[in-house]
Structure 1
Amino acid sequence: MSDQRIPLAGVIGSPVAPSRAPRLFGHWLKSMGLRGAYVPMDIAQADLAQVIRTLPKMGFVGVNIAAPYKETVMSVADLITDRATLIGAANTLIFRKDGKIHADNTEGYGFIESLRNGAPGWSARDGTAVVLGAGAAARSVVASLSDAGVPEILLTNRTRVRAEKLKEDFGQRVRVVDWVQAGNAIDGAALVVNTTPLGMTGKPELRVPLDGLRPGTVVTDLVINPLRTPLLLEAERMGCIAIDGLGMIICQAIPAFERWFGERPMIDGPTRLAVLG
């Protein structure tokens, strides 16, 4: 890229300060010795479309999208991937050389890659997956598990109507279970995923009976504060394979970084430390 403009990328949100993407992308750029910059941008909703359309003229090759704009940016894009359409949200915008804005969602990809890294023996054919929660993160998880070929996904949420709506979007492979029956759903599951904020620092505890867990069950929690949640600690105690939520954050950034800066980044200890700050 020595004869080209220095590629710029960034993350847009409001507020954008909580985003860990600048730490991650900054670490990769520095450790890999690549030219480029990654900029956090706190943009008001009224200015969002204008800013996005202006960025390519300033040398930006793309941006990540944080809350609360993942759904809003879909209307700004010229092209939308099938997975972003299915999830109903985009976390990545690619500014193409032909001037078109390409929207994608890499969260499901990040989840599956994190799962495979943390539990190399896991297979979608292993059996039922239980997903706790029915919010935006759950949509990405359910979409990726369905695409991977998990035979049955049991979805449970404190507000059943949200789970029912998600089931409508993803079909018969998804079955809704009442929140009070979440413990029973876990019994015999091959995979358990917490997509709720329950168990996060400052949030209520995840009060779901875990006695149905079995040694070898894969348990992952998307909460990263704390990184070792009570769910994961209990899962480890019961002989399960416990996977924290940091891997998903890192893995979902890989496709964008490779596309924007031309090199595929590594996932290693220093990378995890950089994200944690």
Structure 2
Amino acid sequence: MLPGLSGAARDRWLPLAEQPLLVLVGVTGVGKSTALSALGSLTLLPDRREVTDAVMILPQAGGPVSDREERFALTARYRELHHGGMAQALGSLYADPSRWSGGLVFDGLRGQEEVEYAARQFPHWRFVSLHAPDVVRVRRLLGRADSFDRVGTQSSQSFQPPDLGAALATLGGAAEVFTQAELAEIAALEAQGFVTTDILAKARIVVSERCNYDPQAARRVLNALPAGRCLDLDTSLLSPEEVARAIRAWLPGAERPSTDEQEAGGANR
């Protein structure tokens, strides 16, 4: 995929702004990978990480950046200049139809500003909104082996794991994201065999992401769209199979989700 084109290439390549994209919306740990498994008949575009690296990270940092908090800072700086954020970046791209054609899926958009921009500027796009409680997201991050899920930590042979309860209580921004009961629930993960520093790192990821993207604000925007443009699913209430079934049923040409699936998953719009 390339940014804006001119001349003959413009006639041959597909402007994503005009394509009927299916866009996944949700922050880390809400189950987007499960949703993607339900969309095997569609074509997955380069994901958010790849577009972020090419459009936002490399031009600013001059090279790859793996630390999540540093990436959040760089993408926030990009959004100061481009208020549509990832939606604006994606909508500026063109796709080679010899490689990217048919039903196209993008993973994914986050936050109110991106969703508002996408819904307003690209009327052909439809959205699957996935969400889960933040404590559930921390637990899911601990259960997956993704090298991308890391933040800077102290490296020293003499480093001692922190007191988890105290570290969570003083984690910047945690009080705005988690209740005291939720912080205690996260601290209790230590007794389940999870490594103290890993728990703290995953909690920091969730807090950092919530400081940059408000998932509830994004949901409010999407759920106000006309019927048929958004499917809203709470993945903490649905099994992976139910998530997949609800998405398949919602796609054009399929039967609508059952009443039970709609009630479990949230507002089907």
Judge same fold: TM > 0.5, yes or no. Answer: no
What TM-score does the superposition give when structure 2 sets the normalisation length? Answer: 0.29
Higher strand share: 1
